[in-house]
Amino acid sequence: MHILIIEDDKRVAELIQRGLEEQDFQTSVAYDGVSGLKMVLHNEFDFVITDIILPKMDGLDLSREIRSLKPDLPIIMLTALGTTDDKIDGFDAGADDYMVKPFEIRELVVRIKTLLKRYQYRSSNPGFILRFSDLEMNLNTKIVKRNNIEISLTPKEFKLLEYMMQNSERVLSRNEISEKVWETNFDTGTNFIDVYINYLRKKIDKNFDNKLIHTKSGMGFILKNEE
């Protein structure tokens, strides 16, 4: 696996590079956003790790560009910014996962392997479709429709809805969603899961009489037909 590390702090970049190469990953490094984007366009990488605060092009704009050009390239953001809004901005820009500095290389490796397995599963199931009620999700084309009306979702909204559709009619706790969708332990000091549930409701339920996303007070959320 060939991983591109985009990090302007050379010491941090070297630490990540050394840690990944010890796990038998091949690595390349770019020290600004523009150089990182050029490398993505002209080389075949299996994974991108990028900081948010970068010279020339920040990590958010970089992730948007990568996601539009290579939608099946996994991205992890590494940053010192750890508020709920910062995380939401990162996920909305197309990041698959978000790690706050300082972090353990061992945890980074686990998250990389988890995301690679998920992407490999999707690529091995072309055209695989999830359906619930009048809601349809194509895991290959990333198209979501309700009652044959196409709905535009951000990458993280897509993954949250995907997990809910795979576990429909079952109450999902915030902890479970955090671990399975964000691959992290739930941070009780932030409310980003509730924020994303509200985002989904506005797109999935707002214009339809039959509501699918429901809150179970004190327990979590469930995808089910309204009773």
CATH architecture of the domain formed by 129-223: Orthogonal Bundle (1.10)
- pLDDT at res. 121: 63
The pLDDT value recorded for residue 37 is: 94
Q: Do domains 2-123 and 129-223 have the same CATH topology?
A: no
Which pLDDT tens digit goes with each residue over 165-205? 989 889 999 888 888 887 665 554 568 788 899 999 999 99
Q: Domain limits of the chain?
A: 2-123, 129-223
**Band of the pLDDT at 223, cuts 50, 70, 90?**
very high
pLDDT of 145 above 70? yes
In the CATH scheme, what is the code of domain 2-123?
A: 3.40.50.2300
Phi, psi for 129 (deg, rounded to 5): -120, 135
Q: Is the link from the previous residue into 102 a cis peptide, with omega within 30 of 0?
A: yes
pLDDT score of 75: 92
Q: How far is CA 79 from the centre of its chain?
A: 15
The whole-number average pLDDT for the span 130-159 is 89
For residues 204 and 212, the answer to whether their CB atoms sit within 8 Å is yes
Mean of pLDDT values over 131-141: 88
Instruction: State mean pLDDT over 142-149.
Output: 90
Which residue, 152, 131, 135, is CA-closest to 143?
Answer: 152
Q: What is the pLDDT of residue 1?
A: 84
Q: How buried is residue 33: exposed, middle or buried, by Cβ count under 10 Å (0-12/13-18/19+)?
A: buried
Instruction: Give the DSSP letter string of the chain.
Output: -EEEEE-S-HHHHHHHHHHHHTTT-EEEEESSHHHHHHHHHHS--SEEEEESS-SSS-HHHHHHHHHHH-TTS-EEEEES--SHHHHHHHHHTT-SEEEESS--HHHHHHHHHHHHHHHHHHHTSTT-EEEETTEEEETTTTEEEETTEEE---HHHHHHHHHHHHTTTS-B-HHHHHHHHSSS---TT--HHHHHHHHHHHHHTTT-SS--EEEETTTEEEE----
Q: What is the pLDDT of residue 82?
A: 66
pLDDT category of residue 81 using cuts at 50, 70 and 90: confident
pLDDT at 29: 95
With 60 as the cut, is the pLDDT of residue 19 above it? Answer: yes
For the ranges 78-87, 117-126, 164-173, which has the lowest average pLDDT?
117-126
Residue with tokens 């790690």: 99
- Are residues 225 and 169 in contact, defined by beta-carbon separation less than 8 angstroms? no
Contact 157, 203 (CB under 8 A): yes
> Please, are residues 35 and 104 in contact by the beta-carbon 8 Å criterion?
no
Which pLDDT belongs to residue 175?
Answer: 86
Mean pLDDT for all residues in the chain: 86
